[in-house]
Structure 1
Amino acid sequence: MQEIWRCGCGWDEKSSWPKGGSRGSKRCRTSTKLRFLAVTELAKPTNNVELHIFCDASENGMAAVIYSRFEEEGKVECAMIGSKTRVAPLKFLTIPRLELQAAVNEARLADCIIKSHRMKIARRVFWTDSRDVIRWVRSDHQRYSQFVAFRVSELLDTTQVDEWR
């Protein structure tokens, strides 16, 4: 999509993209709610349900994925609930800033999932491979640039510092 946008093609113009064959693939779209409801049926209300949310970014895009983890009769079960991907903005951003934006997307995804379901969540764990994000979340974010400060502020509004790994 970014390549099409960069070439400046209009909506009604024919494009020579994709060059060298199709880069797209068929996507299976499943409802986030259906996946979570399947997990809800398996988990008893007394079980400790945890959400583990992962994020990552590169110069091309960012992604977040959320899993539920619970124990039943001494057996640990995990299930993917949903995911969210975004292409990187056309405007250049450094990898640490992209990682921070991916963390914001991760927190938004978790918030959306939690608000749309009745299951009681015992614990949330947010995972990132960026030391910069962890450092920003654990420090005084107001001393950073406006870009970083606004995003860290949003993270701290929706998550707790001790939830980040």
Structure 2
Amino acid sequence: MYRRIDVDEDDAQYQRILWRNDPTEDIKEYFCSTVMFGTSSAPFTAIRTMHQLANDEGIKYPLAVDVIKYEMYVDDILSGGESIERAQELQRQILAMLHSGTFQLRKWAANNPKLLENVPTEHKATHGVLHLNAKETIKTLGLSWNPATDNFEFNLNFKIPSGAATKRSILSTTARLFDPLGWLNPVIVTAKIIMHQLWSLKLGWDTPVPDGIQTPWKRFIEELPNISQIRLPRWLDTGATNPAKELHVFCDASTLAYSATAYLQVRDEGGKWCTSLLPKITIPRAELCGALLAAKLVQFLQKHLRLPIDHSRILFWTDTMIVLGWIRGDPNRWKIFVSNRIHKILEVSEQGQWRYVASEDNPADCSSRGLSSLKLAQHQLWWRGPF
């Protein structure tokens, strides 16, 4: 991708390379005329170039514009259509737009063979399962998409460390738990809670941790392979022919973490509501902050999912009556900490959108307190909500 983007000659002078083919030769000095790997500006330059290409060619290829701007992740594109015909036309426009900028897509994968009929064999993905973070070779967890089943899956590249766990080994393993969409938050937060306990003990980096931490950590590691059982459907059934949609956002907090989690409900042709877990975020701290996180989560989802959901169909749920009282009251009555957060919450939501949910029916409770990977795979409250 970088090698297809030319750099202005005046700027390319700062991309210098020293080279010789043999130790006996004099060193020659070159400048790199294309975007150069390893420079801090390279990722921005590449993405900015793609956006400019979309702006320049958007009139000719209108369907490809949003894909390039919103569904492209560095040099990977994840997109699709509501029908085969729509997807094929989208594919044609994307290829044509990128070709006008001398870019060529490879490693094609699709959940329908018709979309690959005109793709040369050498340009198709070599494996049936598409590893979405294949470049992240140091990560323990990897997210994959299986075109045959149209499901997201988690693959585990993990070897159980031998010997007693130390703060260094626990931190190293926790840092490798790659979960950018937050689907495994209940498991990840368990590891972070253990790490939090280690900091409070002020142990040396290579000192074996006490049995009170050694035992739960060993159990955590042994159960981690269970995440490979998890299958998440990619398709949310959010097509234009299905306008009935509701967004439900739950928030919760414990003494160690607070979280917000969102579920999209879509009604099918038979009138049945289908519920899907959406990406989320979890950050250490408390209840009111969890409510603010829920409000920010809705902002994030509306921006990136771009789903036409009626404002009245977006509902927020908390299991704390005092937080509900703060939100439904006059923000100016409360102390500064509370008042500031209530004002921010009401910037993106209305008082009438906030509801009460019992703690045992609150899925955000799972990621504020943690779950073992063994329980997570079968935990319907987390994957489907209380519906």
TM over 0.5: yes
- Correspondence for 1:152: 342
- Correspondence for 1:54: 250
Structure-2 separation of matches of 1:156 and 1:21 = 40
Query: In the TM superposition, what whole-angstrom CA distance separates every residue of 1:34-87 from its partner, at most 9, and x where no partner exists?
Result: 97x621xx1232412111011111212222110000112122111111232223
Aligned-partner residue type, residue 146 of structure 1? I
Structure-2 separation of matches of 1:106 and 1:149 = 17
Name the TM-score, length of structure 1 as normaliser: 0.77
Whose strand fraction is larger, Structure 1's or Structure 2's? 1
State the percentage of identical aligned residues. 29
Shift of 1:4: 2.4
Query: In the TM superposition, what whole-angstrom CA distance separates every residue of 1:4-43 from its partner, at most 9, and x where no partner exists?
Result: 2323457xx2243343341645396xxxxx97x621xx12
Structure-2 separation of matches of 1:5 and 1:44 = 48
Larger radius of gyration: 2
User: Cα 1:8–1:158, aligned 2, differ >3 Å: closer, same or farther?
Assistant: farther
Whose helix fraction is larger, Structure 1's or Structure 2's? 2
User: Cα 1:9–1:159, aligned 2, differ >3 Å: closer, same or farther?
Assistant: farther
Alignment of 1:104-119 (within 5 A): 104-119=292-307
Most deviating of 147-156 and 72-81: 72-81
Query: In the TM superposition, what whole-angstrom CA distance separates every residue of 1:84-126 from its partner, at most 9, and x where no partner exists?
Result: 22233xxxxxxxxx21111111111121111111211122100
- Correspondence for 1:84: 281
Aligned-partner residue type, residue 14 of structure 1? D
Structure-1 separation of matches of 2:200 and 2:246 = 41
Structure-2 separation of matches of 1:15 and 1:148 = 41
Aligned-partner residue type, residue 196 of structure 2? Q
Tell me, which stretches of 5 or more residues in structure 1 are unaligned?
Answer: 29-33, 89-97
Structure-2 separation of matches of 1:8 and 1:157 = 41
- Correspondence for 2:14: none
Is 2:210 the counterpart of 1:14? no
Shift of 1:129: 0.7
- Are 1:125 and 1:164, in contact at CA under 8 Å, matched by a contact in 2? yes
- Correspondence for 2:259: 63
SS at match of 1:20: helix
Name the TM-score, length of structure 2 as normaliser: 0.35
Structure-2 separation of matches of 1:43 and 1:117 = 10
Structure-1 separation of matches of 2:216 and 2:330 = 49
- Correspondence for 2:317: 127
Alignment of 1:36-55 (within 5 A): 38-39=235-236, 42-45=237-240, 46-55=242-251
Structure-2 separation of matches of 1:125 and 1:81 = 14
SS at match of 2:305: coil
Shift of 1:148: 0.2
Query: Which 4+ stretches in 1 moved above 3 angstroms?
Result: 23-28
CA RMSD of aligned residues (A): 2.4
- Are 1:100 and 1:151, in contact at CA under 8 Å, matched by a contact in 2? yes
User: Cα 1:15–1:154, aligned 2, differ >3 Å: closer, same or farther?
Assistant: farther
Count of residue correspondences: 147
- Are 1:68 and 1:78, in contact at CA under 8 Å, matched by a contact in 2? yes
- Are 1:65 and 1:83, in contact at CA under 8 Å, matched by a contact in 2? yes
- Are 1:54 and 1:126, in contact at CA under 8 Å, matched by a contact in 2? yes
The answer to which structure, 1 or 2, has the higher relative contact order (CA under 8 A, 6+ apart) is 1
